[in-house]
Amino acid sequence: MTRPHKTRARRPHKHRKERAPKIVTAQTSESSSESVLTPEADLSPDPLVVLSRGGVRRLSGGHPWLYPDNISKGTLRDGEVVRLEGPAGVSRGAACFSLGSRIPLRVVSREPDFDESSEWAVMRLDAALERRRHALAQNEEACRVVHAEADGLPGLVIDRYGPVAIFQAGCRWADAVAPLLASHLVEHHGFSGVLARHDGAFRKLEGLPEGVMLLAGEVAGQVRWQHAGLTREVDLWSGQKTGTYLDQRENQLWAADALPVGHCLDAFCNEGGFALHLAAAGSHVEALDSSQPALDRLKKQAEINGLADRVTTRTVNVFEDLRERVSAGEQFDGIVLDPPALAKRKGDLPRALRAYKELNLRAMRLLRPGGRLLSCSCSFHVSRAEFLETLRAAAADARRDVFVQSVRGAAACHPRLLTFPESDYLKAVLVEVL
pLDDT of residue 51: 96
**Contact by Cβ (8 Å): 249, 227:** yes
Catalytic residue of the set 171, 269, 378, 413: 378
pLDDT of residue 67: 95
Q: Is the pLDDT of residue 78 over 90?
A: no
**Contact by Cβ (8 Å): 411, 144:** yes
Look up the CATH number of domain 24-109: 2.30.130.10
pLDDT of residue 75: 81
**Contact by Cβ (8 Å): 378, 425:** yes
Average pLDDT over residues 209-220: 94
Give exposure, 75-112, as e/b (b: 16+ Cβ within 10 Å).
Answer: bbbbbbbbbbbbeeeeebbbbbbbbebebbbbbbbbee
Report the half-sphere exposure of 281 (CA within 13 A, side-chain side): 23
**Contact by Cβ (8 Å): 411, 250:** yes
Select the more confidently predicted residue: 39 or 213: 213
Strand order in the sheet with 263-267: 311-315, 284-289, 263-267, 332-337, 367-377, 427-433, 402-408
Percentage of the chain beyond pLDDT 90 is 76
Residue 199 CA to residue 77 CA, distance in Å, equals: 25
Percentage of the chain beyond pLDDT 70 is 90
pLDDT of residue 74: 86
* Architecture per CATH, 120-223: 2-Layer Sandwich (3.30)
pLDDT of residue 45: 59
**pLDDT tens-digit series, residues 412-423:** 999 999 999 999
Q: Is the pLDDT of residue 12 over 70?
A: no
Q: Is 300 exposed, middle or buried (CB count within 10 Å of its CB: 0-12, 13-18, 19+)?
A: middle
> Could you tell me which residues come within 8 angstroms of residue 183 by beta carbon, excluding any fewer than 6 positions away?
215, 216
The packing angle between helices 273-280 and 249-258, to 10°, is 40
The mean of the pLDDT values for the chain is 89
pLDDT of residue 136: 78
Average pLDDT over residues 106-118: 92
**pLDDT tens-digit series, residues 276-329:** 999 999 999 999 999 999 999 999 999 999 999 999 999 999 999 999 999 999
pLDDT of residue 133: 87
* Lowest-confidence segment of 8-12, 131-135, 154-158 by average pLDDT: 8-12
**Contact by Cβ (8 Å): 34, 75:** yes
* Lowest-confidence segment of 8-22, 27-41, 369-383 by average pLDDT: 27-41
pLDDT of residue 203: 87
**Contact by Cβ (8 Å): 76, 96:** no
Between the alpha carbon of residue 360 and those of residues 239, 252, 269, 286, 341, the distances in Å are 28, 19, 15, 17, 15
pLDDT of residue 82: 94
Cβ-based neighbour number of residue 386 at 10 Å: 18
pLDDT of residue 199: 85
Query: Is residue 378 among the annotated active site residues?
Result: yes
Residue-level length of the chain:
434
What is the dihedral sign for C-alpha 9, 10, 14, 20?
A: negative
**pLDDT tens-digit series, residues 15-28:** 434 444 443 333 33
**pLDDT tens-digit series, residues 258-267:** 999 999 999 9
Nearest Cα to Cα of residue 173 among 52, 86, 76: 76
Residue 315 CA to residue 15 CA, distance in Å, equals: 52
Residue 384 CA to residue 331 CA, distance in Å, equals: 28
* pTM of this structure: 0.87
Fold (CATH) for 245-433:
Rossmann fold (3.40.50)
pLDDT of residue 238: 83
Nearest Cα to Cα of residue 194 among 159, 232, 146, 156: 159
What is the greatest pairwise CA distance in the chain?
Answer: 100
pLDDT of residue 151: 97
* Lowest-confidence segment of 84-98, 125-139, 184-198, 214-228 by average pLDDT: 125-139
99 band by pLDDT with thresholds 50, 70 and 90: confident
Q: Is the pLDDT of residue 149 over 90?
A: yes
Q: Is the pLDDT of residue 35 over 80?
A: no
Average pLDDT over residues 105-109: 97
pLDDT of residue 341: 94
Residue ranges per structural domain of the chain: 24-109, 120-223, 245-433
> Could you tell me which residues come within 8 angstroms of residue 387 by beta carbon, excluding any fewer than 6 positions away?
356, 375, 377, 427, 429
Strand order in the sheet with 24-27: 24-27, 33-36, 71-76, 48-51, 81-85, 91-97, 105-109, 65-66
Q: Is the pLDDT of residue 172 over 50?
A: yes
